Amino acid sequence: MGAAGAAPAVSPLPQPTVNGVDFAGALPQQSAQKGKTQAQAWDAIALGVSVQGGTAVTNAKNFSAPAVVSIGQNLWAEAWGVKPGLALAVAGPNSTARVLGNTPVEREGEWGLAGDF
């Protein structure tokens, strides 16, 4: 574990690509990246999944559990867990789904799902 306030260390866990699907997962005090998928975890876990070139960004703090899934090109899925619970963002083609944790969830475009539970 790093010192308080220090950036998370790069995760030693493998960050796979399976059948064109990029996975990035981070345990507490770790960060990970695979393709356009990023996960950063401070005191929780974070998971990002990107399919067919989408961008997925997740950041976990305060015992939250954010997860993002992006499916297709020209999209952005982002979840910032800032309170305990699950923050989930799923975005389809030409869409954006965003959970920032301290503002209402956002969803734009053809289809997507965003929630802070």
Does the pLDDT of residue 42 top 60, yes or no?
yes
**For the chain, what are the domain ranges?**
18-116
Report residue 53 CA to chain centroid gap.
Answer: 15
Written as six digits, the tokens of 7 are 């950036």
What does the pLDDT look like over 68-94, one tens digit per residue?
A: 898 888 788 888 888 788 889 999 888
Percent helix, strand, coil in the chain, to 5, is 0, 55, 45
- pTM of the model as a whole: 0.84
> Cα 91 vs. chain centroid, distance in angstroms?
12
C-alpha distances in angstroms, 116 versus 25, 46, 66, 82?
19, 14, 9, 10
